[in-house]
Amino acid sequence: MKVLISNLIIMTSIILTIGILSNPTIVAFSQESVSITPGAPDEGNLEPFAPNAINVISGSTVSWTNDDITEHTVTANEEGSSAAPPLFDSGPIPPGMAWDNKFDSPGTFGYHCSIHPWMTGRVAVG
Q: Which residues bind Cu ion (CB under 5 A)?
A: 72, 113, 115-116
Q: Which is nearer to Cu ion, 60 or 72 (CB)?
A: 72
Compute CA distances 54 → 26, 28, 61, whole Å.
Answer: 13, 10, 12
Strands (DSSP E) found in the chain: 31-36, 49-50, 53-56, 60-66, 75-76, 98-103, 107-112, 120-125
Residue number with the smallest Cβ distance to Cu ion: 113
Q: Rounded to the nearest whole angstrom, what is the least distance from the CB of residue 102 to Cu ion in the complex? A: 22
Q: Which is nearer to Cu ion, 55 or 120 (CB)?
A: 120
Q: Which is nearer to Cu ion, 60 or 113 (CB)?
A: 113
